[in-house]
Amino acid sequence: MLADKVRNRAYAAAISAKVRPGDVVLDIGCGAGLTAMLAARAGAKHVYTCEQQPLIAQAAVRVIEANGLADRITVIPKMSHNLVVGVDLPEPADVVISEIVDTLLLGEGALATLEHAMRKLAKPHARAIPERGALMAQLVESDKLLNLWRPQKAEGFDLSAFHHFATVAQITPNDFATFGLRPLGSATDLFQFDFVRPDTRVARRTEDLECSGRGTIHAVFVFFEMNLAPGIQLTNDLHSDGHWGRTAFLLDRPIPAEPGDLLRIRAHHDASQFSLSAHKLPACSDQDDLAWDGPDFPANCSDRAFFPTRHGITRRRAIL
């Protein structure tokens, strides 16, 4: 992460644009202290940066001292939820900086953390970095991805009955290029997130993703777009570089597709988890489906065994 030049330059530009001389800054998730030092360099009166891991907090103190900024940055070895204005911070913050997102934005608890920080630890019109985020979905083809996450055999043994556990592919940055994910349609906006006024309520969305070319749909690729400041964006889409991994929701079986074919997806998120289901339109009578066990799932679905996975995914067979 520290060697991610794209991410570092984007945060440096956003902090320079949004931190004003005399600002009190709260930096959530200190790490090595980079964003805190960027805020001090941008002119902040004082930066209060919190870190829940004591050893990391101690290392950050040494980094900040080595860079001559110990008089302008205070490292607090606490979670932000445990900070109190008047005890840990002398006054509410003018700017709240964070980089506490995972490949789907939500997995590190960013919404709940920022909702608390903006409400309890910041001034009424405080600025936030990042400002906004979005989750996008896109149809992709990649037989290499399917072969890695669902190998048919190992040492001569048939493993196919185990495939129902392999529903979500977590792709590391190093592996991403080898899979050759080919887009089969444009990206569709699923959810928008306001990090200045975070909303932690459950949300659901149904979208029909249209295939724009002939191919085989193997997965629904979900990525984020994160606006740090006006004109400054980070993403982990198909064409981006950076330290973030990627996430693809695998279909139970590959679906041959022609231009104009539709794949209906239903997406759901709460404050920290995201889930997605998918089925092709027009529906087949015997098609497996990825789904969450939610009250808004169609009533004409018969249950199948449920298998919890990361991001809250479960499985059932859809009779459509």
Render 38-55 in DSSP notation, one character per residue: HHHHTT-SEEEEE-SSHH
Task: With beta carbons less than 8 A apart as the criterion, state whether 77 and 44 touch.
Answer: no
The C-alpha atoms of residue 244 and residue 173 are separated, in whole angstroms, by 7
The C-alpha atoms of residue 38 and residue 13 are separated, in whole angstroms, by 9
* Peptide bond preceding 282 in cis form (omega within 30 of 0): yes
Positive or negative, the Cα torsion across 257, 260, 265, 267? positive
% of the chain surpassing 70 pLDDT: 88
Read off the pTM.
Answer: 0.84
Reply yes or no on whether the pLDDT at 320 is more than 50: no
* Structure confidence by residue, pLDDT tens digits, 68-88: 999 999 999 999 999 999 999
For residue 198 the two structure tokens come to: 């975070």
The C-alpha atoms of residue 276 and residue 266 are separated, in whole angstroms, by 6
* Element housing 18 (H / E): helix 5-18
The CA angle 59-64-69, to the nearest 5 degrees, is 160
User: CA separation (Å) from 82 to 28, 73, 116, 141, 171?
Assistant: 12, 19, 10, 45, 33
| pLDDT the model gives residue 115 | 97
| pLDDT the model gives residue 236 | 95
The more confident residue out of 296 and 182 is: 182
| pLDDT the model gives residue 243 | 81
pLDDT band at 311 (very low <50, low <70, confident <90, very high): very low
Q: What is the domain partition of the chain in residue ranges?
A: 5-99, 133-280
Mean pLDDT of 143-171: 87
Reply yes or no on whether the pLDDT at 200 is more than 90: yes
| pLDDT the model gives residue 282 | 65
pLDDT band at 246 (very low <50, low <70, confident <90, very high): very high
Task: With beta carbons less than 8 A apart as the criterion, state whether 180 and 142 touch.
Answer: yes
| pLDDT the model gives residue 221 | 96
For residue 16 the two structure tokens come to: 């320079």
| pLDDT the model gives residue 286 | 38
* Structure confidence by residue, pLDDT tens digits, 274-302: 999 887 776 443 344 443 333 343 323 32
The C-alpha atoms of residue 65 and residue 70 are separated, in whole angstroms, by 5
| pLDDT the model gives residue 1 | 65
Mean pLDDT of 193-205: 96
Task: With beta carbons less than 8 A apart as the criterion, state whether 13 and 232 touch.
Answer: yes
* CATH class, 5-99 region: alpha beta
**CATH hierarchy code of domain 133-280:** 2.70.160.11
% of the chain surpassing 90 pLDDT: 70
* Peptide bond preceding 308 in cis form (omega within 30 of 0): no
Reply yes or no on whether the pLDDT at 135 is more than 90: yes
Reply yes or no on whether the pLDDT at 308 is more than 90: no
